[in-house]
Amino acid sequence: MKKYTVAVLGATGAVGQEMINLLEERNFPVGKLLPLASARSVGKTIKFNGEDVAIELACDEAFEGVDIVLGAAENDIAERFAPAIVKAGAVFVDNSSAFRLRDDVPLVVPEVNPEDVKWNKGIISNPNCSTIITVTAVNALNKLSPIKSMVASTYQAVSGAGVAGMAELKEQVEALQAGKDVQVKTFAYQIAYNLIPQIGGEQMEGYTSEEMKLHFEGRKIMHLPEMNVSCTCVRVPVMRSHSISAQLKFDRPISVEEAREILKDAPGVKLVDDLNAKEYPMPLDTTGQDLVFVGRIRPDLTDPNGLCLWCCGDQVRKGAALNCIQIAELLIEK
């Protein structure tokens, strides 16, 4: 089997570390791993396949001879290095939002639009975490009847803010239990025992940038340019795994039985839907899982062509690192 030189840009962050873990876990054919980070991390090592691999400096020259670059850095870093990556002949699978809505860049969820990988010009974008989880959950239903619109509320774990977000929740809970004042650094307000109904800055008409991602990215991934999405994003005191409540409207009525039948075999999905047995998707159950759990499927009482559901998925895995690795797997398959 051919082996590939794989670089991870932003190797020391939560998503970068998960990417490296998944490369090993999924036996990706890595001939050489190149963890890249800022100067302060150079010289440190990470474990990969039982060996210590030194972290190297992210610079233009680092991408020479690399086949695939997995991006786990912020927009400015992705934009800074993308030209050098493409010039070196590598394919950049980028987790930032820098290139997602560019017409010449595929935006891919492998369970939904794997064929879009074929037309990349050196960059493939990984969608927003909540977008990935939601479209994985609803794509099979779109095959029964086109989705005309969706109203979604996301309940996003602190892992969406990286290592610092997870540390802040833990520190605040410990402080409150000890009767101490909490320190607020990563989030705008205390997140322990609280909900914060804003993720991202205002983008349009009171909607935040995070809320508009599901609208624009969902259209592109599902090839539904006319689909409208109205979204409310909420940060919740959950460590990992995002949850989404979705109200879908179709061209025709879809029964709960139809929905369950197609979802039980849908790629990337696990159907967990028995209200009487108290079985439904929850963040604790999906943490560390690769699948998106879907349940609470029921008719929309406001529209005969509507359906409501609830889904959960691990934000760091399927919502970020795993989706990138799956895209890389598509690349080597094709």
Q: List pLDDT tens digits, range 294-330.
A: 999 999 999 999 999 999 999 999 999 999 999 999 9
Question: What burial letters (b/e) apply to 207-217, b meaning 16+ CB within 10 Å?
Answer: bbebbbbbbbb
Q: Are residues 203 and 295 in the same domain?
A: yes
SS3 254: coil
Place 113 in a pLDDT band, splitting at 50, 70 and 90: very high
Residue 212's pLDDT is what?
97
Q: Are residues 29 and 152 in the same domain?
A: no
Task: For residues 188 and 328, state if they share a domain.
Answer: no
Cβ atoms 270, 292 nearer than 8 A = yes
155 and 120, same structural domain? no
Q: What is the mean pLDDT of residues 81-99?
A: 98
CATH of residue 295's domain is 3.30.360.10
Radius of gyration of the chain (CA): 20
Residues 104 and 159 in one domain: no
Judge if 187 and 103 occupy the same domain: no
Judge whether residue 201 has pLDDT over 80.
yes
256 and 112, same domain (yes or no)? no
**What pLDDT was estimated at residue 20?**
97
Catalytic residue among 233, 242, 311, 324: 242
Tell me the whole-structure pTM to 2 decimals: 0.96
Same structural domain, 120 and 142: no
Same domain, 53 and 175: no
Q: What's the confidence (pLDDT) of residue 185?
A: 97
Q: What is the pLDDT of residue 176?
A: 98
Please classify residue 189 by burial: count the beta carbons closer than 10 Å to its beta carbon, then call 0-12 exposed, 13-18 middle and 19+ buried.
exposed
270: CB partners within 8 A, 6+ apart: 289, 291, 292, 293, 294
Task: Note the pLDDT of residue 318.
Answer: 97
Cβ–Cβ under 8 Å, residues 147 and 137:
no
Q: How confident is the model at residue 1 (pLDDT cuts 50, 70, 90)?
A: confident
If asked whether residues 98 and 158 sit together in one domain, one would say no
Give the CATH number of the domain where residue 114 resides: 3.40.50.720
3 state DSSP class of 148:
strand
Q: What would the pLDDT profile of 122-176 be if each residue is shown by its tens digit?
A: 999 999 999 999 999 999 999 999 999 999 999 999 999 988 999 999 999 999 9
pLDDT at 59 over 90: yes
Mean pLDDT over residues 244-263, rounded? 98
Could you list the residue range(s) of the whole structural domain that residue 215 is in? Answer: 131-315
Average pLDDT across the chain, whole number: 97
Report H helices in 145-282.
162-177, 209-222, 256-263
Rounded to whole angstroms, the Cα distance separating 57 from 20 reads 17
pLDDT on residue 230: 97
Domain count, the chain: 2
Q: Summarize the confidence of residues 20-39 as an average pLDDT.
A: 97
Whether 311 is catalytic: no
On the question of pLDDT at 44 being above 80, the answer is yes
**Confidence band (pLDDT; 50, 70, 90) for 47?**
very high
Looking at the fold, whether 123 and 241 belong to one and the same domain comes out as: no
Q: Output the pLDDT for position 112.
A: 98
Q: Are residues 83 and 197 both part of a single domain?
A: no
Two tokens, residue 215: 């609208």
Q: Which residues of 152-166 are buried (b: 16+ CB within 10 A; e: fewer)?
A: bbbbbbbbbbbeebb
In this predicted structure, the answer to whether residue 334 has a pLDDT above a threshold of 90 is no
- Helix axes 14-25 and 322-333, enclosed angle (nearest 10): 50
Provide the pLDDT for residue 43: 87
* Secondary structure (3-state) at 161: helix
The arithmetic mean of pLDDT across residues 234-251, rounded, is: 98
pLDDT on residue 120: 97
- Nearest Cα neighbor of 214 from 244, 241, 240, 256 is 244
Q: Specify whether the CB–CB gap between 75 and 213 falls below 8 A.
A: no
How far CA 69 is from CA of 46, 73, 124, 144, 283, in Å, comes to 17, 11, 10, 36, 30
129 is catalytic: yes
Q: Which residue, 280, 48, 47, 243, is CA-closest to 159?
A: 243
